[in-house]
Amino acid sequence: MEVCGWAPSQVLGTLQYAGGGWERASVRCNPTGKVTVVAGTSPHGQGHSTTFSQIVADDLGVTPDDVEVLAGDTSIATWGLDSYGSRSLSAGGVAIHKAAERVREKARILAAHELEVAEEDLEWTDGKFQVKGAPDRAKTVPELAFSAWAAHNMPEGVDPVLEASAVFDPPNWTYPSGTHICVVEIDPDTGSTRIDRYVAVDDCGTIINPMVVDGQVMGGVAQGIAEALYEEAIYDENGTLLTGNMSTYRVPSAAELPGYTLGKTVTPSSTNPMGVKGIGETGTIAAPPAVMNAVADALRFVGVEFIDKPASAEKIWRVVQQAQGQAPPDRAPEGGGTGAASMTPGVEGGAA
Amino acid sequence: MTQVAEPEATRWVGGGLKRKEDPKLITGQGRYVDDITLPGMLYLAFARSPVAHANIASIDTSAAKGLPGVVAVYTGPELADEWAAAMPCAWPVTSRTYPGEPTADARVPDHWPVAKDRVRYMGEIVAVVVADSREHAVDATEAVDVDYDELPVVDSIEEAVADGAHVIHEQFDSNELYTWNLRNGDADRVFAEAPVVVSERYFHPRLIANAIEPRGIVAQPVPAQGEFTVWSATQIPHFLRVFLTLLLGIPETKIRVIAPEVGGGFGSKLEIYAEELITVALARKLGAPTKWTETRSEGYLATVQGRGVIQDMEVAATEEGRLLGVRVKLQADMGAYASLCGPGIPILGAFHYHGVYDCEAYSFTCTSVFTNRTPTDAYRGAGRPEATYATERIMDALARRVGKDPAEVRAMNFIPPFDQPRMTAGTLEYDSGNYGAALAKAKELVGYDALRREQQAGDGGRDG
Amino acid sequence: MRRIALTVNGVRREAEVEPRLLLVYFLRETLGLTGTNVGCDTSSCGSCTVMMDGQSVKSCTVLAVQADGSEVATIEGLATNGQLHPLQEAFRNNHGLQCGFCTPGMIMAGLGLIESGAGMDDEEVRLGLEGNLCRCTGYQNIVKAIQEAAGQMRQSAPAVQGGSE
């Protein structure tokens, strides 16, 4: 499981972190019907433009193509705490939703005024405000945006333009969870591991875009598998980084990774009104132990008591040799041989 | 799917809408920072220390300055006036102890963008070259002549904590940054009395994030107004703006930071980097646009690394495999300096080494230390993968110890389903959870029972 | 300096270049075609992949002077008359990209694979993509995208088997 949705500001203070965990957004309904969302989060591949558009489209009865999401520029998104720690949706998305709700609240007042009915006589259905019992008398948010911009007929005490902003300081972290199961086949003669099957069932609470969620899970799992089997920054005793570029440090390609089978459960978060938890870090959190437990499970059949990551081919070969009473000769370090890896102890320990 | 808290049906939320970001990316129209070129732009390159720990005995930039296209070369002392403050640590964790135990102030050593008289990790910047082209800048870095008086290298956690260890930051009495403790319940008693105790030690080597886009920054000044527009491949444009103000003394209202298309981060672009500070400082100093792009191998040394932790993990349990207590001791490698969030990363995992399982007693302690290596900081999951790794591996070990199936032992220990905040052993209030449902679904999807039968029946098959 | 002349995305380009200038920098900096990216310095990542004389190549392993007289196609040249190439469509349909940095190289590598007549089952595509790294997607959707595009492209214009030149 994970602790995500960075984070309640007060809690961060008690942990001695210097900044806060709130997030801010504004939602602006332009006069010709398009909606501008300004987000304080800063995407770098996660698809915020898409998912945030989906949220606002539902909230305001427009289509995602009608919504423009601006982020990552301090002159435009003047307030924000950016993106990390799986917070963009559970802090940022919730702020956007709050702002959109405030826009809709103001739009409701305008709609009632223009339709000359009481607010209670309106219902929000099919993405517009309809008079109860008289569905042909309706107003859409884009129509109301124009009215609020022309401002010819504003209700008492209501300012022109249709926009709102909101800040959301999460009252708690969020806690995505799930179960990943990995099936491996190991060739003891070469030490190489083949992942036969990788199943990931994740619960990120309410799902905004399942395609985006799956993409995040798969990307994270790939990094997690790589952490388990391939990656290790190796320093020598002089503090020299031996794995100093992409040809000596193994970032896996598609050829070194399996396909994934993905499933979901949905347990909404109690931390925010949308029930969202975040998904960005799930894969890297779940995959390393899933893979290593599979490797360990396999190797116990050949008498290996314990193995740690990365379970490279060479390491597996060595522990299998050792377990079968054939201590391999010392050799020049590569991928974690004796003497070179600063993190790995001389004897792989693990009292059980 | 559970209803969102809205009275009306959702039309777009919950659906797999194709991404709006894609049209420009699939046609090569995305603008990443290295795609930005400005008239009169100058290029930066950095001379970096090839050794992990040394005094800079002398540094001679005269040859570099004479090379074609070179506009300027600066050393650490020559740039000292640019900085209003040292590089930031936004998470200066202090020792956290219980009443009666000694406490300590945050140990954040001075960290300057360009080393002044000493280098403390391989790759630390010792000089900056500014030239009219990337090639000319790089060529000149190779002509910077530095004499290093090497010092003992603290190359691992074990070395950092050893008796008589060489102290990297002499203002402190050891290489320890902090020791942080969290205890809930009486773990010592629970472990002493438990029928079953399982202990394992796990290593998390350092990892290199390897976002496919290398880091980079462009700074464009309007000298007459003291204004700056900065494009940086960063996850944190807002924080960068705040720290440019604090570290360079430029008023916040005069700085605009833009994160253009950013090609992945995973935590490695969640940092305030020396290169960013230097690039903006030199745009100011020279009154011209400046640019720097990282090479991949440069990034391996210059970009924060992830993980770097040793864990001693223990669980106490009944003979049936029911968890009674979790006790974990961490040692975390901070690298040569306190990075932006580095000290806090282990703390992010501190509260949930019991995972989704219930238990009575919980004890966590972490000692973070300096070493002569690239600073560490967040890497996708930041502290939580480490915690989950230890929890899930020890649960398998527990299962082996009590002779039960690992899935069965987990199911036995799950916190039962809940949809409102619930206090847990690590003192976090989890928001909601239905752990059994995911396990059941995963088992079904993978064909778990059949696999286990096959495994038992076969030659063991080395199938895990 | 050496004078070179080549065709890039159907347009004849001439320039004076330093012998050490890599093709990828010629494309990005001399011609301003920044769609092709530089992701590493060991020819490992494939972000710089372009088509050269009908084959996919890593443009960081080719000197501009070596491309003299060649036909080079980059990501910018794939869509024709505003119509996306099947590979581009397929990447979008299958969520085959997230940050997009490796994507131009991936698409061109996919193009090279498909046009070389390579087999399109999972293992064959994955092996064919060995030289292209992605850190965001985990590759599964990229494989699907290339398979989908291959299906379309080979249907409309049966591939010449083994036709790499």
> Residue A62 belongs to a domain with what CATH number?
3.30.365.10
Q: Are A46 and A28 in the same domain?
A: yes
Q: Confidence band (pLDDT; 50, 70, 90) for A349?
A: very low
Average pLDDT for A62-70: 96
Domain boundary among B271, B302, B333: B302
CB contact under 8 A, A42 and B19: no
Whether A108 and chain B come into contact, CB under 8 Å, resolves to no
| Residue B418: pLDDT over 90 | yes
Mean pLDDT of B15-29: 95
Q: Are B415 and B356 in contact (CB under 8 A)?
A: yes
Within this chain, do residues B108 and B229 fall inside the same structural domain, yes or no? yes
Using CB atoms, list chains with 3+ pairs below 8 Å to chain C: A, B
Q: Evaluate whether residue B441 is within a structural domain.
A: no
Which of A50, A196, A218 to mutate to test binding with chain C, by most C CBs within 10 Å of its CB?
Answer: A218
pLDDT, position B442: 95
Quick one: B423 and B328 in the same domain? yes
Q: Domain check: are A229 and A299 in the same one?
A: yes
DSSP, res B223: G
Q: Do B281 and B370 have their domain in common?
A: no
Tell whether the model's pLDDT for residue A196 goes beyond 50: yes
Cα torsion C101, C107, C108, C113: sign: positive
Residue where one domain finishes, among candidates B253, B282, B302:
B302
Cα A307 to Cα A300: distance, rounded to the nearest angstrom: 10
Give the lowest-confidence range in A143-147, A187-191, B139-143, B411-415: A187-191
Output the pLDDT for position B9. Answer: 57
Is 90 exceeded by the pLDDT of residue C76? yes
Structural domain for A121, as ranges: 9-168
Asked whether residue B459 is domain-assigned, the answer is no
pTM for the whole structure: 0.94
Is B359 found in the same domain as B226? no
Of A211, A221, A245, the CB nearest to C42: A245
Same domain (yes/no): B412, B339: yes
Q: Count up the domains in chain B and report the number.
A: 3
Kindly state whether residues A312 and A331 are assigned to the same domain. Answer: yes
Same domain, B281 and B425: no
Query: What does the pLDDT look like over A44-57, one tens digit per residue?
Result: 989 999 999 999 99
Residue B366: give its domain's CATH number.
3.30.365.10
Q: How many domains, in total, are found in chain A?
A: 2
In terms of domains, do B230 and B350 share one? Answer: no
Q: With 80 as the cut, is the pLDDT of residue B4 above it?
A: no
B105/B223 same-domain check: yes
* Residues B66, B14 within the same domain: no
Residues A67 and A182 grouped into a single domain = no
Pick the residue with more confidence: C56 or A344?
A: C56
> Do B272 and B405 reside in the same domain of the chain?
no
Task: Check whether residue A84 and residue A196 sit in a common domain.
Answer: no
CA-CA distance, C119 to C123, in Å (whole number)? 9
B318-344 residue pLDDT tens: 999 999 999 999 999 999 999 999 999
pLDDT reported for residue A332: 34
CB count, 10 Å around CB of B321?
Answer: 23
Cβ distance of C103 and B19 shorter than 8 Å:
no
Residue B240 has pLDDT above 80, yes or no: yes
With respect to residue A245, please indicate whether it lies within any of the assigned structural domains: yes
Question: Could you tell me if residue A317 is inside a domain?
Answer: yes
The domain boundary residue, chosen from A125, A144, A168: A168
Do A237 and A309 share a structural domain? yes
H or E stretch covering B182: strand B176-184
Compute the distance between CA of residue B55 and CA of residue B19 in angstroms, rounded to an integer: 52
Q: Residue B455: its pLDDT value, please?
A: 85
Does A318 reside within a domain? yes
Above 80 in pLDDT, residue B168?
yes
Q: What is the rounded average pLDDT of the residues B230-240? A: 97
In which element (H, E) is residue B204 found? strand B196-207
What whole-number distance in Å separates Cα of residue B28 and Cα of residue C105? 10
Cα separations in angstroms, B308 against B119, B201, B328, B345, B376: 21, 14, 16, 11, 8
Residue B39 has pLDDT above 80, yes or no: yes
Burial of B77 (0-12, 13-18, 19+ CB in 10 A): middle
With beta carbons under 8 A apart, name residues in chain B contacting C74: 28
Asked if residue A140 is part of any domain, the answer here is yes
B68 interfaces chain C, CB cutoff of 8 Å: no
Question: Which chains neighbour B (Cβ–Cβ under 8 Å, 3 or more pairs)?
Answer: A, C
- C-alpha distance from C46 to closest chain B C-alpha (Å): 10
- In this structure, are A341 and A193 located in the same domain? yes
**Same domain for A120 and A102:** yes
Residue A132 has pLDDT above 70, yes or no: yes
Same domain, A192 and A337: yes
Q: What is the SS3 assignment for B311?
A: strand
Domain limit, last residue, from B281, B302, B323: B302
pLDDT in tens, A251-288: 999 999 999 999 999 999 999 999 999 998 899 999 99
A1 within domain boundaries = no
Q: Is residue A124 part of a domain?
A: yes
Question: Is B282 within the bounds of a domain?
Answer: yes
pLDDT of res. B96: 83
Q: Which amino acid is at A183?
A: V
Residue B455 lies in a domain: no
d(CA B367, CA B330): 6
Within a domain: A35 = yes
A84 vs B contacts (CB less than 8 Å): 235-236, 265, 267, 270, 378, 382
Same domain, B133 and B281: yes
User: What's the mean per-residue pLDDT of chain B?
Assistant: 94
Q: Does A119 lie in the same domain as A49? A: yes
CA B174 to CA A233: how far, in whole Å? 25
A41 Cβ under 8 Å from any chain B Cβ: no
State the Cα–Cα distance between residues A134 and A137, nearest whole angstrom. 6
Cβ <8 Å between C140 and A260: yes
Which of the 8 DSSP states describes residue B31? -
Across A331-340, B78-87, C67-76, least confident range: A331-340
Q: List, as ranges, residues 20-39 from B with C-beta within 8 Å of C.
A: 21-23, 25-32, 34-35, 37
Range of the domain at B244: 33-151+210-302
Evaluate whether residue A163 is within a structural domain: yes
Q: How far is CA C113 from the centre of its chain?
A: 10
* B156 Cβ contact partners less than 8 Å away, ≥ 6 residues apart: A235, A342, A343, B333, B371
* Mean pLDDT of the region A9-26: 89
pLDDT of residue B347: 94
Confidence of residue B463 (pLDDT cuts 50, 70, 90): very low
* Residue contact C141–A215, C-beta within 8 A: yes
Structure confidence by residue, pLDDT tens digits, C82-140:
899 999 999 999 999 999 999 999 999 999 999 999 999 999 999 999 999 999 999 99
Which one of A74, A180, A209 has the shortest CB-CB distance to B256? A74
Domain C-terminal end among A168, A200, A220: A168
pLDDT for res C155: 85
**pLDDT class for C157, splitting at 50, 70, 90?**
low
Region at A15 (left for phi over 0; alpha for psi -120 to 50; beta for the rest): alpha
For residue B262, give the CATH number of its domain: 3.90.1170.50
The answer to whether the CB of A79 falls within 8 A of the CB of A39 is no
In a domain, B140, yes or no: yes
Distance CA A305, CA A349 (A): 9
- Same domain (yes/no): A329, A188: yes
How would residue A348 be classed by pLDDT, with cut points 50, 70 and 90?
A: very low
Is the pLDDT confidence value at A328 over 80?
A: no
CB A84 within 8 A of CB A125: no
Alpha helices in A30-162 (DSSP H): 48-60, 94-115, 141-150
Average pLDDT over residues B117-129: 98
Distance of CA B78 to the CA centre of its chain: 30
Question: What DSSP letter does each residue of B331-363 carry, written as one string?
Answer: EEEEESS--SSGGGHHHHHHT-TTTTB--SEEE
> Angle of helix A282-299 relative to helix A313-323, nearest 10 degrees?
30
- C27 pLDDT band (50/70/90 cuts)? very high
How close does chain C come to A124, measured CA to CA in Å?
33
Disruptive mutation site among A10, A14, A15, A324 for chain B (greatest number of B CBs within 10 Å) = A15
Identify all chain A residues contacting B381, using CB atoms and an 8 Å cutoff.
2, 281, 284-285
Q: Are residues A79 and A204 in the same domain?
A: no
Q: Do B441 and A18 touch (CB under 8 A)?
A: no
Q: Does the residue B444 lie in any domain?
A: no
**Could you tell me the pLDDT band of residue A247, with boundaries at 50, 70 and 90?**
very high
Among A138, A168, A198, identify where a domain stops. A168
Residues B281 and B329 in one domain: no
Res A344: pLDDT: 22
Residue at B447 is within a domain: no
What is the predicted pLDDT for the residue at C158?
Answer: 59
**Do A293 and B92 lie within an 8 Å CB cutoff?**
no
DSSP E strands in chain A: the ranges are 23-29, 35-39, 67-70, 122-125, 128-131, 134-139, 162-168, 177-186, 193-203, 261-264
